[in-house]
Amino acid sequence: MRTQVAIIGAGPSGLLLGQLLHKAGIDNIVIERQSGDYVLSRIRAGILEQITVDLLAEAGVGERVKAEGTVHHSIELVFANTRHPIDVHGLTGGKVVTAYGQTEVTRDLMDARSAAGLTTIYSAGNVTVNDFDTDHPVVRYEKDGQTHEVLCDFIAGCDGFHGVCRASVPEGAITEYEKVYPFGWLGVLADVPPVSTHAIVYANSERGFGLCSMRSLTRSRYYVQC
């Protein structure tokens, strides 16, 4: 196969990049190691900042998030046992926070991709990125017992921190900035209505941080510091 941009990874970044390139008239193929169903069932994020919602609209996939996302005009900070509402909308000239599951974002992008007839290869095994610093990069992968090749002008590594692209970059070519915190979060996803549907609650207490977030009006996402 031949394409202008071979995108590795069909998470939100790979699919969104594919959509933006397509809108700009640039041909692309997405290559993903998992199945489409697996990607769609992988529960992760759920809170979208304004910049993300705007970008989805620009990419032509903003209709459902606008119709079905739960809009928050404020957030709440809690400390010393007192709730402090912060008027995000008023203080930022109209920006809001939108609760809309990452799986829904992925579904919208997948639907747009198939409606546009763009190629996505799921369940691609042993993906390798080759000659990416030359004029003729090649992506190879295995599927149905055969090795396939995608010739391209550019390879876009959208396969996350543990993916093959980052690991293929020569040592020293990436500058890393990292801060390690001495604690972690326990996250609980529960099919119960959220504590607060109008704002996400960020709470500080003597026993550490707690977050009351949500995925929808019937599904809650809670975090406690450990």
Ligand X SMILES: Cc1cc2nc3c(=O)[nH]c(=O)nc-3n(C[C@H](O)[C@H](O)[C@H](O)COP(=O)(O)OP(=O)(O)OC[C@H]3O[C@@H](n4cnc5c(N)ncnc54)[C@H](O)[C@@H]3O)c2cc1C
Interface residues with ligand X (CB under 6 A)? 8-14, 31-34, 39, 44-47, 102, 124, 127, 158-160, 163-164, 187
- Size of the chain in residues: 226
- Cβ distance to ligand X smaller for residue 38 or 79: 38
Residue number, 9 or 137, with CB nearest to ligand X: 9
The residue (of 37 and 135) whose beta carbon lies closer to ligand X is 37
Question: In angstroms, what is the minimal distance from the CB of 115 to ligand X?
Answer: 20
Query: Toward ligand X, which CB reaches closer, 77 or 122?
Result: 122
136-142 contact pairs (CB < 8 A, 24+): 137/6, 139/6, 139/8, 139/31, 141/31
User: H-type helices in the chain, by residue range?
Assistant: 12-23, 36-41, 50-58, 63-68, 88-91, 102-115, 164-168
Instruction: Please identify which residue in the block is written with the tokens 């979208």.
Output: 48
CB of 45 to ligand X, least distance (A): 3
* Other beta carbons less than 10 A from residue 195's beta carbon: 14
The smaller minimum CB distance to ligand X, of residues 41 and 207, is found at 41
The CB-of-205 to ligand X minimum distance in angstroms stands at 21
CB of 80 to ligand X, least distance (A): 26
Q: How far is the CB of 194 from ligand X (least distance, A)?
A: 13
Q: What angle do CA 158, 30, 11 make, to 5 degrees?
A: 45
